[in-house]
């Protein structure tokens, strides 16, 4: 008969830590596209980043609504949408974090974190 000696921790889906890693441009972001290397402890991936704009015309760039990140390794694509409170990513980790993480510094997924750190601050201030 097995004896349980360790008390089970309080029920928690999982613990969240701030995303850490290195984020650098393989091809510099020119305001529309760029290639970003996201390196975290879960791995390294190259993303093709495309700015998402609304109301864009050939003569007017439109309003920046967010970024599309396409993983060149596995073809997965995520959208990071600019919200009034910050960036919101469509990846699973981003959704979970937005819903369950109590501390703001742990909320960004690696895509949001990477964009926050790698993008020139205030593109059109
Ligand atoms: Zn994400």
Q: What is the pLDDT of residues 53-91, one digit of tens each?
A: 988 777 777 889 999 999 999 999 999 999 998 999 999
Q: For the chain, give me the number of helices (H) and strands (E)?
A: 2, 6
- pLDDT score of 125: 43
Distance 100 CA to ligand 1 centre (A): 15
When pLDDT is averaged across residues 29-49 and rounded to a whole number, the result is 96
Query: pLDDT digits over 95-116, tens only?
Result: 999 899 989 899 999 999 999 9
Q: How far is the CA of 3 from the centre of ligand 1 (A)?
A: 41
Neighbouring residues of the ion ligand 1, judged by CB less than 5 Å: 89, 91, 94, 109, 111
C-alpha to C-alpha distance for 110 and 1, rounded to whole angstroms = 44
CA 89 – CA 98 distance, rounded (Å): 9
- Helix H or strand E segment including 97: helix 92-100
User: Does the model's pTM come out above 0.85?
Assistant: no
DSSP annotation of 105 reads G
What pLDDT, on the 0 to 100 scale, is given for residue 6?
65
Q: How far is the CA of 69 from the centre of ligand 1 (A)?
A: 9
Close Cβ partners of 24 (under 8 Å, ≥ 6 residues apart) = 36, 37, 118
**107: Cβ contacts below 8 Å, ≥ 6 apart:** 97, 98, 101
Cα torsion through 113, 119, 120, 123, rounded to 10? -110
Distance CA 25, CA 19 (A): 18
């Amino acid at each position: 008969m097995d004896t349980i000696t360790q008390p089970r921790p309080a029920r928690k889906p999982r613990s969240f830590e701030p995303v850490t890693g290195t984020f650098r441009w393989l091809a510099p972001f020119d305001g529309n596209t760029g290639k970003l290397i996201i390196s975290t402890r879960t791995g390294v991936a190259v993303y093709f980043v495309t700015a998402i704009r609304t109301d864009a015309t050939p003569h007017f760039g439109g309003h920046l609504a967010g970024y599309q990140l396409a993983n060149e390794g596995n073809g997965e694509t995520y959208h990071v949408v600019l919200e009034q409170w910050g960036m919101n990513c469509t990846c699973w980790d981003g959704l979970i974090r937005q819903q369950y993480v109590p501390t703001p510094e742990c909320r960004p997924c690696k895509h949001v974190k990477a964009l926050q750190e790698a993008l020139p601050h205030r593109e059109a201030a």
